[in-house]
Chains A and B, each alone.
Chain A
Amino acid sequence: MSPSISIKAVNITKRYGDKTALDDISFEVNRGELFGFIGPDGAGKTSLFRLITSLLIPDGGTLTVDGLDTVKDYTKLRKILGYMPGRFSLYQDLTVEENLRFFAGIFKTTLEANYDLVKDIYSHIEPFKTRKAGKLSGGMKQKLALSCALIHKPEILVLDEPTTGVDAVSRIEFWEMLNKLRQSGITIIVSTPYMDEASRCDRVALIQGGKIMSIDTPEAIRNNFGRDLWALKADDIYRLLVDLRRFESTWTAFPFGEHIHLSLSDKSIKPAEIALYLEALGHSNVHISKIEPSIEDCFMEMMSVGSGTGEE
């Protein structure tokens, strides 16, 4: 076991009845890394995090965290974990401060002893420390939950969809906090359905249907896209999508907001040819521009290729 590896998963499988939630996945998370699991709802993120936190037992494969097996050594493991479940899971009828003191207490420490650790985060909500946790806004709840998960100085922080249901400003703040935490040497794994948050991580795993499609740094994933990507716009966006998907050289075409992102199987085709094809079909106000692929583009492409091969 290399000392630089924090979490090591080998051929992990998890089934619920005859439904497979995680299908033979393997990955490694380095110590001190901010590692993201990115994927849509139902991809298996929560199952995976529950396996890592020893709340579930894998049906196959082994999973170790800092050398501790999640099945055999769960008592030791639970001492070094900080866990924030996907659902807001603090006591709503307790105040901010009472929650924090409670979680300090069950880990046999005190708020005062570890105040430095949570200071940056807790200072945001300290003015509201006498408010009941149930009455906090979404962003403040997440900060409190993070403070509670951190109060016992865990070595690994496991955050299941911490930014789901949180406003945009709070999301940015939250990621800045994670960045600061990472600098203090703590290993952080975080899951999110928001593709745009991927670039905040050191490395990301794209997960879909219980399988990991790719693990790499966000830059490498984007660079591996391997095709030119075009953003198209026209008056009738729906018909545009349908017609683009009929275009013989189209590799993928997905709607992204008010644009359609298009990649082509044939590199030699120029945008003017696409415009010509579309105008021949009666589209007006067609705009075509070349763009850099985002993580979401990569994700969508991998998904469609994955399902494409499945059909063949």
Chain B
Amino acid sequence: MRSFIIKEFYHIFRDIRSMVVLFGMPVIQVLLFGFALSTEIKNAPVAIIDQSNDQVTRAITSKLLSSGFFILSDQVPGEGHIDEVFRRGKVKEVIIFESDFSKKLEKDHRAGIQLIADASDPNTANLLVSYTSAIILDYQQEYLKGMSLPLTVKTESQMMYNPALKSVFMFVPGVITILLMLITAMMTSISIAREKELGTMEILLVSPMRPIQIIAGKVLPYVLLAFSNAVIILLLSYFVLGMPVKGSLFLLLAESLLFIIMALSLGIFISTVSKSQQMAMMLSMFALMLPTILLSGFIFPIENMPLPLQVISNLMPPRWFIIIVKSIMIKGLGFQYIWKETLIIAGMALFFIALSIKKFKIRLE
């Protein structure tokens, strides 16, 4: 056993590809999801057409630009040129103040601002418009300070657990899950398939090693590596992306370990049904990656899926792990709130381990 594990580490550390997959990918993925794929608005280029250019419009403009969400892009000569500006893609939103803005405000208590957004990217357009409206509303309240309005209904919303609506909060649990799933399942399945392909499995079989020993020897190194991977991802998301760990860190790591073991047993199962490294890779990529991303609730909310897909998503181990990670990291919940999900993952792990030991062939056919 000991020599088997040592051998397995030699394989991993001497293969540049596995090293890149093991340690390069998590870092790149976390940083990519954390920074590049952010859905937050930061420094969106806007253009302002101010037809009155008075004290009030300048105040609103400076309030908008100092919020950090917008930066002023090129001047737009006039309303006739908006289409052209959008087409060049330099501006995401145009804000138009009508003429005699402050005069109308004082006289009629009513003045208009037109927001035109580039909705070829609907999410961004939506966010821009709502951010702008919120800021203008805020100004209006300051402006009215002291005055009393006849009747107003005021809504006050609070975003619990993620007040700033940071997208990192949503991505990190998903990324941790996908990476652990992919790395562990793919790497083990490939490494066992490699023994078959190179014929070394033939010698391993003609040795006193029992199936469970061969499997354990294959799995243990990857448990260690995947676990250190989970730690790296957590450290990165904590220090670089500012992701909090509100619950128990120990619980989070223990749950990660459980999930890793589940993914590994899945990987072993894949390798028992695939004859070559290529096949093991394809199986783990297509049978694991896509459903993991699409059906786990990582990107698309499960509630919005058609019923059959919702049912299938129950079979996706990542779905449950994402819930666990979110509960611990963001909501700070304890074990009593996630025991059900934990039990499901543990059950899946046992199922795949039993299946792989049963399917593991003690002979060549």
Contacts and interface: CB of A to CB of B under 8 A. Distances in A.
Contact of A85 (B2, B199, B362, B365): B199
Contacts of A53: 206
B3 to A, nearest CB: 2
Given A57-B363, A102-B4, A90 B206 contact: no
Contacts of B2: 105
B141 interface: no
Interface in A122-141: none
Contacts of A94: 7, 10-11
B209 A98 contact: no
A93 B15 contact: yes
Nearest to A55: B364
Interface string A96-118: 00100111111110000000000
A57 B362 CA distance: 11
A50 interface: yes
B363 A85 contact: no
A72 B208 CA distance: 15
B208 A83 contact: no
A79 interface: yes
A78 B207 contact: yes
B203 interface: yes
A252 B347 CA distance: 70
A15 to B, nearest CB: 11
A101 B3 CA distance: 8
A49 to B, nearest CB: 10
Contacts of A102: 3-4, 6-7
B11 A93 contact: yes
B290 to A, nearest CB: 31
Contacts of A90: 200, 203
Interface in B96-126: none
Contacts of A107: 207-208
Contact of A106 (B3, B15, B362, B363): B3
Interface in B170-204: 198-200, 202-204
Interface residues of A, number: 31
Contacts of B81: none
Interface string B54-67: 00000000000000
B202 A89 contact: yes
A191 to B, nearest CB: 15
B208 A79 contact: yes
A61 to B, nearest CB: 17
A106 B204 contact: yes
B236 interface: no
A56 B200 contact: no
A54 interface: yes
Contacts of A83: 202-203, 206
A78 B202 CA distance: 12
B200 A106 contact: no
Contacts of B11: 91, 93-94
Nearest to A87: B199
Nearest to A101: B3
Contacts of A79: 208
A81 B206 contact: yes
B200 A89 contact: yes
B211 to A, nearest CB: 11
A85 B207 contact: no
Nearest to B5: A105
A47 to B, nearest CB: 10
B205 interface: yes
Nearest to B4: A106
Contact of A105 (B4, B14, B202): B4
Contact of A89 (B15, B199, B208, B210): B199
Interface string A26-59: 0000000000000000000000001001111100
A148 B209 CA distance: 15
Q: Which of A54, A87, A89, A107 has the most CB of B within 10 A?
A: A89
A87 B198 CA distance: 8
Contact of B203 (A74, A85, A93): A85
Contacts of A103: 203, 207
Given A56-B363, A94-B10, A106 B198 contact: no
A75 interface: yes
A92 interface: yes
Contacts of B3: 101-102, 104-106
A104 B199 CA distance: 18
A134 to B, nearest CB: 10
A153 to B, nearest CB: 13
A160 to B, nearest CB: 10
Q: Which of B202, B206, B208 has the most CB of A within 10 A?
A: B206
Given A55-B363, A81-B206, A105-B2, 14 more contacts: A54-B206, A55-B202, A55-B205, A57-B363, A75-B210, A78-B205, A85-B199, A93-B14, A94-B10, A102-B6, A103-B203, A105-B4, A107-B207, A108-B208
Q: Which 8 pairs across A and B sit closest by C-beta, in order of nearness?
A: A105-B3, A89-B199, A83-B206, A55-B364, A87-B199, A102-B7, A93-B14, A53-B206
26 contacts: A54-B206, A55-B202, A55-B205, A55-B363, A56-B363, A56-B365, A79-B208, A83-B202, A83-B206, A85-B203, A88-B199, A90-B200, A90-B203, A91-B7, A91-B200, A98-B7, A98-B10, A102-B7, A103-B203, A103-B207, A104-B3, A105-B4, A105-B6, A106-B204, A108-B208, A148-B203
